[in-house]
Structure 1
Amino acid sequence: MSKLFVAFLWHMHQPVYKDPISKKYTLPWVRLHSTKSYNDMLSILEGFPDIRQTFNLVPSLMTQIQEYASGEVSDTFYELSQKPASELTPEERVFILQNFFAANWETMVLIYPRYRELLEKRGRRTSAGELGEIQKRFSDDDMRDLQVWSNLTWFGYAARDKDRELQQLFLRRRGFSESEKLLVLEKQRQLIQSLLPRYKAAQDSGQIEICVSPFYHPILPLLCDFESAFEAIPHVKLPREQFKHPEDARAQVASAISYYEHVFGNKPRGMWPSEGSVSPEAAAIVAEAGIQWIATDEEILLNTIKGKGRGEMIYAPYRLQLDGVGLNIVFRDKSLSDLIGFSYSKSQPEISAKDLFGHLRNIHSFLRPTSGENLVSIILDGENPWEYYPDGGRSFLTTLYSLFSQSDAIEVTTIGNYLERFPPKLGLKRIFSGSWISHNFNIWIGRQEDNTAWDMLARTRRHLERQQKNLADLAPEVLEAAWNEIYAAEGSDWFWWYGDDFSSAFDGEFDRLFRSHLMQVHRLLGEDIPAYLNEPIINRGATRPTEQPSGFLSPLIDGLVTHFYEWVAAGSFDVRKSGGAMNISETCISRMYWGFDQEHLFFRLDTSMSPLGPEMSDAKIAINFENEKRRRIELLLPSSSREKALMHIREQTGEETWSEPREGGTIGVKKIIEFSVSFSQLELKTGEEVKFHVTVHKGRIEIERWPRNGYIEFKVPGEDFEASMWFV
């Protein structure tokens, strides 16, 4: 009896976390996963020379690893880890307390007594608004220990085994010095520097195969044509804007192959299409680019060929023939892959490994392979599952690889090597359009937020195409940079977090980054940012203010707090307690107030620096009203007390056009910013709901938006407003 062949494909991917403006990474996950799963998964193979593995490294991940390795970039979390604990501002301490426990608590926080102690001191269920007071209870030593543990916990077993200094730091537990903290960060950098060269060396030795994905991890079938979504879900609601750009799919595939060749010195044989997403048109594009094989989910095959038993179908490679081009395809065993990804972490690792090995022996007995034509493909995320295993998956993988090494019936191979030895005997003339999640594209298209994002992308792309034709003198490097922003916005990750399927603590930041890529297209073209790109896609509902208005106001609009009770009945929104800013450098606006009498709307803006100072002189502040007829109040601040502040009102006249500014209202700017405008000037009537948010621009760049997501709302008051508030 011949062997059963098993191929593991470990998918490793992170979206592009670099802010297009600051060129700094706003989230740390590439850096942290590099010291854990990316290192562990390669290192563990050193003890098993006969085990072959396939790794999928997405180009957008590799570019970030290379930038970290070169020292060209940093991220907000790294900079706050590096900063001496005694020099942290209250806002920075709040950010650290809010974000430096972002790991799986059961396996990466609670198992370390000091890290657990710091979590308990902060509180397990703490709102952003409470952290301003809580941070006062943390000493500099507490903050330094938290800085260390939030990085130390991400070193996986491979790094710990080989580094005595890391071992000693884990044993130290508390009371870390600043030099020890910097040592942890330096060891991160050194490990990241070694990562891609070690993957290349392992591939050159033949132990692993590295396959690629389209550069920015887009859903290729949706780039080719939205209507590919209809095959799996005929009633799916598509975005309003049409999107049919197979040329973008070709560009994403071609740039991925080129980058792979630059890093590894040869062309990739295989490709994991982002999220296992396939369609006839996408598969043809991949084949035309010279890729020899792709992999996807078993449900794609079961919906392509109906009527046969699952076991007879999925454990063999196929040759897809489309319009004169051919492509080899393997289909993953969904059940076995999901056992590793979602189930085995809850059981004893040795028992789990033996269970998986037992499943494979049963498949061997069922198939009774005679000539090597049977392949079991186990394909899953290679980074996130290991956070849920108590030891990072070490015992599970060690036991499993040991069982394979001792077996004569099962051989673990790479997908490319298997196909080279055993070319497909079975053929396909078509392929079902879908992904590895429920064989459809429902995660990325069809929900309101998904479709809004696609509409924004389509409009921006269409504008770039138009400007490319109209602006003959556009520099080639500017045009290339603008198209790269479009390609980055096509990545699947942004759409993953839109809608109600998945959520994280960083949804707002993913939304901001997506829109930032589209904004950057306009900046590169030297244009103002369209208003629609400044509107967050997620959480477009009302934001709870710090205080609600409780009575009528009658402030003196002079730019000064005339007396204590002047704004006491106003509504307010405290920016510092909103927990919305990933960039925690000092904000222009620190708090905003609003209120009214029966005829007027009043605003007060407190700033972190003098509103008459040089830092604010080039800032343009706007109150943006989101009612059916959109309006905005624009404030132009003076550079000194001798100059006059200006206040203009504009109305939206078209999709992207606004009326000429007209003067209206009263403004005072001294220590604070105060201004008023009548409800009649804004054409607002008693009882009408008003929705607004505040933005700060410098040049064409929006540097602040409050609230970060959604809007603040109130009703235009009637005569009985104060009486109703008193009754409540």
Structure 2
Amino acid sequence: MSYPLYVAFIWHQHQPLYKSYLDGEYRLPWVRLHGTKDYLDLVLLLEQFPRLHQTVNLVPSLLLQIEDYVAGTAFDPYLSAALTPTEALQIGQKQFIVEHFFDAHHRTMIDPHPRYAELYEQQQHNGKAWCLEHWSLQDYSDLLAWHNLAWFDPLFWQDAEIACWLEQGKNFTLSDRQRIYSKQREILSRIIPQHRRMQENGQLEVTTTPYTHPILPLLADTNAGRVAVPQMTLPTQRFQWPEDIPRHLRKAKHLYRNWFGCNPKGLWPSEQSVSPAILPDIAEQGFQWICSDEAVLGWTLQHFFHRDAMGTVMEPELLYRPYRLETPHGDLAIVFRDHRISDLIGFTYGNMPPRQAAIDLVGQLEAISRTLKSRQSGGVALDRPWLVTIALDGENCWEYYTLDGKPFLESLYQILSEHPSIQLVTVSEYLDKFPPTETLPSHQLHSGSWVDGSFTTWIGDPVKNRAWDLLTEARKTLDACPEATEENNPEAWEALYAAEGSDWFWWFGAGHSSNQDAMFDQLFREHLMTLYRALNKPVPDSVRRPVDDRIIPADCRPSGFIHPVIDGQADPQDWDRAGRIEVGGSRGTMHQSTAIQRLWYGVDHLNLYLRVDFKTGAKPGVSLPSELHLFWFYPDRPVAISPIPLENLPNTAPLNYSYHHHLGINLMTQSAWLQEAVESNQWHSRMTRANVAFGDCLEVSIPWADLSTVEPDWSLRLLVILANNGSYQNHVPNDTLIPVDVP
């Protein structure tokens, strides 16, 4: 019997609890704004292609907040400002508006709208103080309108009212802003019914997540952090409350039945985090399947997944199948996502032309099918029903796509609707036809998440650990009040559940940062304050103080993929997730003199990116050497290497190392040349598609395809040298190399 390649898309829709129980106000607007841009349109687009089936995960904390906005009982500071007459705006509100009403990816959500872009340019080029001094009340009114208009998904632009506002462009009134808010609520009101309708007709499967999106393995025992990282520094106090797990699961299941009229079959464990300890509770609550990441499967099988030069898994029969997990309360199925393909959608395809990206994704699936066929006994069709799981965040990535991903998804869905050998399925309909035949011993399941198969994103950092200690103290206080049950003191328990959510720990400490870091810190502590007050207990001083001291290290590793436009303009949004190395003035008097002040570096699946900030006014050939050279070192890789081909080179590390790739850049002409080491310490020229721009800074992108010997998941080290006409001047970093991980 022959089979198509089955593909299960799982879109994860989530927002943490932004509502503070201290005063009932929402602190941040992301449920409302993402609700008008990312939840309804995703399934409306799918509905146009009835042959395609998908799975959408809707987190209870998200849906509860959507219901609040639909009911008109949810207000956040952004919404309150938008509904305030401009003549009544206080100076504090104006400062807030100038600071936060451009919180969007400007290239896709601000720049396409001339009036919004005009105001953004004034804020960027003239400064916030200038705006406060010079903006008219009409400027504020237009900004208040556009901050909301820009979040309407392009799928809704044909709506008569929205089309009228977009054409109007400026001179918005309070009445306009009120009607924009009404349109937001109208769109939000359609989200749950649309998902229910599509699930009932079989095109969609809706799954759920533990109530407030907690990391279940860490609720069971924070020592789970040491499974992947044995030397992890844990919080001072051990959090060990496994009884909270069934509480989160029961609440999620109960709410799901209210919204969708049936029991959920699938569970998306928060952050795809799993461990043996959580499986019995999940099975006991009646869930039939869960999902996690290929890294968790790799750790479980003690197997590292290899990929070929195109990124295709070389052991596909291990990844592209469901597994059975046996528990005392029945069996669970588990599927593991293809991490790379999921990341391509989440972080890379938005930087490509939409149709090209769609074709590339289909090509990735076709490559998997070819690899599977090559490993079977014969035949031109698949002889087994393999399942490729693609699972990712369903909201945040679209902000970086042209027209919020609409052209990409339309192209992708059109191709897949007509594809003869790829079939999109929900996870449950696949499992109903093809139950798992391979068992993973439950006790061997790795304890980890979708981030490197570990929990380091949520625990182990000093700041994250402080937050866990605060949570542990609050949980002990609640436990010491047995009279405070969920029935007679729901406020205390709801505050606990909110504080147990994963998002606060994500933003604490190193690794992630945003324009709302301080607010996430405040929200976490407000949930704890609510718990203490509900128990009539004094709020500890430690809960009143910020968890994070807000000190940002001078140097940092990349916190995510980046997609900068190479124009030499140093756009802050382009490099906000990049790694950074401070050079000039940050290393003390022993650091060598150099015109370079700062290095930025990062990657996506297409390119390696580098940005070099020079001293103000530095000019190539005058106050700055005329050339910049990049050298790639591949530790523990069997590649040809050659010495650095520059004159007057000191015989010191790392200058006396040998390297495999060399990109030279003429800073005066912005031309580039690429060399690759070959045998006998020689360098041979290679074609390069490196993109170079020198303006406010130097920005460079080097396609991974140029570095032809590099394979996925390799690590490399990078050295930057300044030279004049082939003669060494200086290098950075001074005594080490820049570490880069190939995606």
Q: CA deviation at 1:510?
A: 0.5
- 1:379 and 2:413 matched: no
Q: Which residue of 2 aligns with 1:531?
A: 541
Q: Deviations over 1:285-331 (max 9, x none)?
A: 21121100001001111111135863220001111113453110011
Q: Is residue 278–residue 296 contact of structure 1 (8 Å, CA) maintained in 2?
A: yes
- 1:507 and 2:517 matched: yes
Q: Which residue of 1 aligns with 2:406?
A: 394
- Structure-2 separation of matches of 1:513 and 1:61: 16
Q: CA deviation at 1:441?
A: 0.1
- Structure-2 separation of matches of 1:289 and 1:125: 57
Which letter maps to 1:532? S
User: SS of the residue aligned with 2:213?
Assistant: coil
Q: CA deviation at 1:467?
A: 2.3
Q: CA deviation at 1:47?
A: 1.4
- Structure-1 separation of matches of 2:315 and 2:293: 12
- 1:490 and 2:500 matched: yes
Q: Is residue 253–residue 264 contact of structure 2 (8 Å, CA) maintained in 1?
A: yes
Q: CA deviation at 1:253?
A: 1.1
Q: Which residue of 1 aligns with 2:325?
A: 320
Q: Which residue of 1 aligns with 2:463?
A: 449
Query: CA, structure 1 residues 2+125, in 2 after alignment: closer, same or farther (shift >3 Å)?
Result: farther
Q: Is residue 11–residue 381 contact of structure 1 (8 Å, CA) maintained in 2?
A: yes
Q: CA deviation at 1:526?
A: 1.9
Q: Which residue of 1 aligns with 2:154?
A: 157
Query: CA, structure 1 residues 63+324, in 2 after alignment: closer, same or farther (shift >3 Å)?
Result: closer
User: SS of the residue aligned with 2:385?
Assistant: coil
Q: Deviations over 1:529-548 (max 9, x none)?
A: 11111111112669xxxxxx
- 1:516 and 2:513 matched: no
User: SS of the residue aligned with 1:458?
Assistant: helix
Q: CA deviation at 1:476?
A: 6.0
Q: Which residue of 2 aligns with 1:194?
A: 190
Q: Deviations over 1:111-159 (max 9, x none)?
A: 2111011112223584xxx53x531311111111001100000000222
- Structure-1 separation of matches of 2:401 and 2:461: 33
Q: CA deviation at 1:243?
A: 1.1
Q: Deviations over 1:620-645 (max 9, x none)?
A: xxxxxxxxxxxxxxxxxxxxxxxxxx
Q: Is residue 275–residue 448 contact of structure 2 (8 Å, CA) maintained in 1?
A: yes
Q: Is residue 40–residue 190 contact of structure 2 (8 Å, CA) maintained in 1?
A: no
Q: CA deviation at 1:344?
A: 0.7
Q: CA deviation at 1:478?
A: 4.6
- Structure-2 separation of matches of 1:499 and 1:80: 30
Q: Is residue 39–residue 156 contact of structure 1 (8 Å, CA) maintained in 2?
A: no
Among candidates 442, 447, 452, match of residue 438 of structure 1: 452
Q: Deviations over 1:471-501 (max 9, x none)?
A: x5x5864533212211110100000000111
- Structure-2 separation of matches of 1:231 and 1:323: 23
Q: Which residue of 1 aligns with 2:666?
A: none
- Structure-2 separation of matches of 1:492 and 1:287: 22
- 1:348 and 2:363 matched: no
Q: Deviations over 1:219-254 (max 9, x none)?
A: 000001112111110001110111111101111111
Which letter maps to 1:73? A
Q: CA deviation at 1:465?
A: 1.1
- Structure-2 separation of matches of 1:324 and 1:532: 41
Q: Which residue of 2 aligns with 1:218?
A: 214
The aligned runs of 1:119-268 (5 Å cut-off) are: 119-123=120-124, 126=127, 131=129, 134-161=131-158, 163-268=159-264
- Structure-2 separation of matches of 1:182 and 1:160: 18
Q: Is residue 16–residue 61 contact of structure 1 (8 Å, CA) maintained in 2?
A: yes
Q: CA deviation at 1:381?
A: 0.5
Q: Which residue of 2 aligns with 1:279?
A: 275
- 1:60 and 2:26 matched: no
Q: Is residue 39–residue 158 contact of structure 1 (8 Å, CA) maintained in 2?
A: no
Q: Deviations over 1:560-614 (max 9, x none)?
A: xxxxxxxxxxxxxxxxxxxxxxxxxxxxxxxxxxxxxxxxxxxxxxxxxxxxxxx
Q: Deviations over 1:186-216 (max 9, x none)?
A: 1011111121111111111111100000000
Which letter maps to 2:467? A
- Number of residue pairs the alignment of both structures matches: 533
User: SS of the residue aligned with 1:319?
Assistant: strand
The aligned runs of 1:580-595 (5 Å cut-off) are: none
- Structure-1 separation of matches of 2:40 and 2:224: 37
Q: Is residue 59–residue 213 contact of structure 1 (8 Å, CA) maintained in 2?
A: yes
Q: Which 10-residue stretch deviates more, 399-408 or 177-186?
A: 177-186
Which letter maps to 1:277? S
Q: Is residue 453–residue 537 contact of structure 1 (8 Å, CA) maintained in 2?
A: yes
Q: Is residue 5–residue 372 contact of structure 1 (8 Å, CA) maintained in 2?
A: no
Percent identical among aligned pairs is 41
TM-score by length of 1: 0.71
Which letter maps to 2:459? I
Query: CA, structure 1 residues 233+176, in 2 after alignment: closer, same or farther (shift >3 Å)?
Result: same
Q: Which residue of 2 aligns with 1:412?
A: 424
Which letter maps to 1:57? L
**Runs of 5+ consecutive residues of structure 1 not aligned to the other structure:** 543-728
- Structure-1 separation of matches of 2:485 and 2:403: 52
Which letter maps to 1:448? P
- Structure-1 separation of matches of 2:119 and 2:537: 47
Q: Which residue of 1 aligns with 2:118?
A: 117
Among candidates 268, 273, 289, match of residue 293 of structure 1: 289
Q: Deviations over 1:366-394 (max 9, x none)?
A: 21364552000000110000000021111
User: SS of the residue aligned with 2:402?
Assistant: coil
Q: CA deviation at 1:506?
A: 0.6
Q: Is residue 220–residue 240 contact of structure 2 (8 Å, CA) maintained in 1?
A: yes
Q: Is residue 40–residue 194 contact of structure 2 (8 Å, CA) maintained in 1?
A: no
User: SS of the residue aligned with 1:427?
Assistant: strand
- Structure-2 separation of matches of 1:539 and 1:476: 34
Query: CA, structure 1 residues 239+367, in 2 after alignment: closer, same or farther (shift >3 Å)?
Result: same
Query: CA, structure 1 residues 392+3, in 2 after alignment: closer, same or farther (shift >3 Å)?
Result: same
Q: Deviations over 1:633-687 (max 9, x none)?
A: xxxxxxxxxxxxxxxxxxxxxxxxxxxxxxxxxxxxxxxxxxxxxxxxxxxxxxx
User: SS of the residue aligned with 1:10?
Assistant: strand
**Runs of 5+ consecutive residues of structure 2 not aligned to the other structure:** 306-313, 374-380, 553-743
User: SS of the residue aligned with 2:546?
Assistant: coil
Which letter maps to 1:517? H
After superposition, the CA RMSD in angstroms is 1.6
- Structure-1 separation of matches of 2:171 and 2:551: 44
The aligned runs of 1:557-596 (5 Å cut-off) are: none
Which letter maps to 1:144? S
- 1:364 and 2:364 matched: no
Q: Is residue 269–residue 293 contact of structure 1 (8 Å, CA) maintained in 2?
A: yes
User: SS of the residue aligned with 1:251?
Assistant: helix
Which letter maps to 2:19? K
- Structure-2 separation of matches of 1:328 and 1:125: 57
- Structure-2 separation of matches of 1:220 and 1:509: 24
* Greater C-alpha radius of gyration: 1
Q: Is residue 56–residue 212 contact of structure 1 (8 Å, CA) maintained in 2?
A: yes
Which letter maps to 1:206? G
Which letter maps to 2:431? L
User: SS of the residue aligned with 1:5?
Assistant: strand
User: SS of the residue aligned with 1:8?
Assistant: strand
- Structure-2 separation of matches of 1:94 and 1:266: 47
Q: Which residue of 2 aligns with 1:462?
A: 476
- Structure-2 separation of matches of 1:89 and 1:12: 35
Q: Is residue 319–residue 428 contact of structure 1 (8 Å, CA) maintained in 2?
A: yes
Q: Is residue 223–residue 248 contact of structure 1 (8 Å, CA) maintained in 2?
A: yes
Q: Which residue of 2 aligns with 1:269?
A: 265
- Structure-2 separation of matches of 1:119 and 1:452: 37
- Structure-2 separation of matches of 1:528 and 1:222: 27
Q: Which residue of 2 aligns with 1:334?
A: 339
- Structure-1 separation of matches of 2:126 and 2:235: 38
Which letter maps to 1:155? F
Q: Which residue of 2 aligns with 1:637?
A: none
